Amino acid sequence: MASTRDIRRRIKSVKNTRQITKAMELVAASKMKKAQQLALAGQPYAQLLSNMLAALAPHVTDNLHPFLVRRTVKTRGVLLITSDKGLCGPLNGNLFKLVADIKTPAKFYSIGRKGTQFLARTKRDLVADFPVQDRVPFNEIKVAVDFITKQYLEGVIDTVEVIFPRFKNTLVQEPVIRPVLPLDNLREFLTSLQRHAGVVAADEINRNQPFEFEPEAETVLASLLPYYVSREIYQFVLLTRASEHSARMVAMKTAKDNATKLVGELTLEYNKARQAAITQEILEIAAASFSA
């Protein structure tokens, strides 16, 4: 059995760890709330963008813009979005499993230090990594998206896919791989976008709320689709931040609860050791008095 001094030291160490994890839990909870608010704040913009694209549908063809044209996939382009820091449970590990499942030729891009380190450690074809602040400025995301879409238009990659943790609730963050480019079927894309944003069908929008385009619809589409791609990836990063802080809050709460449980067990062990030492001293005193 360990000495009472060793047990006291361990209790003190566990209590210090519990204090740290509790503080990290509170910080993560605060950041999670802000990240959720940022993600929700973009929904009205997404709905308006959906309405505009739906109104454009009758005026364009599927091959009008390079983003709408499907081509033979020789090299996939994969953007991996992870956290910059650890201590967030299995969040990043689940994303790395999706990367490991990619067996076809692919070029990788990264947002988040953990993803960059993983891609470098596994010797994958990492083209570029993009640092993004915790508050996620749109301008920083746009730099990354502009670079990736430029590579797509130049034919360096034939798809743009995003791996990120989709925030469902505080306890569940689902790792997903979401294709972004090409938007090969505009009609299906608009239907999916409308369903995601909760808006009515394109025909009903055009009938009840007709749009007039200046300049022509083709020019508007050429400007609108890059904005949609940027906004979509920006939303993925916001969801990643909400997932990161949620996962960290849960992980730190679990660590705090485990520390509390361990302190209780160590305190019981300490009391037993202390009682055994007292009993031993009493027996020694009694034995000494009898021998005398």
Q: Per-residue pLDDT tens for 211-240?
A: 666 676 677 777 788 888 888 888 888 888
pLDDT of residue 164: 92
46 vs 84: which has the higher pLDDT: 84
Q: Per-residue pLDDT tens for 143-191?
A: 999 999 999 988 888 889 999 998 888 788 888 898 888 876 555 655 5
pLDDT of residue 109: 93
Quick one: 274 and 199 in the same domain? no
Quick one: 211 and 234 in the same domain? yes
Global pTM reads 0.78
Closest CA to 22 of 259, 263, 262, 253: 253
Take residue 139 and report the two structure tokens written for it. 């301008």
User: What's at 23, amino acid-wise?
Assistant: A
Quick one: 201 and 264 in the same domain? no
pLDDT of residue 198: 45
pLDDT of residue 199: 43
pLDDT of residue 108: 93
In the predicted model, what is the mean pLDDT of the chain?
Answer: 80
| Cα separation, 24 vs 32, whole angstroms | 12
Beta strand 159-167 with 173-181 is antiparallel
Among 249, 268, 283, identify where a domain stops: 249
Q: Across-strand partners of 175?
A: 165
Quick one: 221 and 201 in the same domain? yes
Take residue 291 and report the two structure tokens written for it. 């021998």
Q: Across-strand partners of 160?
A: 77, 181
Quick one: 74 and 185 in the same domain? yes
R_g of the chain, CA atoms, integer Å: 28
Average pLDDT of the residues in 20-38: 85
Report how far apart the first and last C-alpha atoms of the chain are (Å, whole number).
31
Q: Evaluate if residue 16 carries a pLDDT over 60.
A: yes
- If one counts every other C-beta atom within 10 angstroms of the C-beta of residue 142, the result is 17
Which CATH number does the domain housing residue 17 bear? 1.10.287.80
Residues 34, 282 contacting (CB under 8 angstroms): no
Instruction: Show Cβ contacts of residue 147 under 8 Å, excluding neighbours closer than 6 positions.
Output: 109, 128, 130
Range of the domain at 245: 31-249
Q: Per-residue pLDDT tens for 109-129?
A: 999 899 899 998 988 988 888
Q: Per-residue pLDDT tens for 181-213?
A: 887 655 565 555 555 444 444 444 444 455 666
Quick one: 69 and 18 in the same domain? no
Query: Predicted confidence band at 85 (pLDDT cuts at 50, 70, 90)?
Result: confident
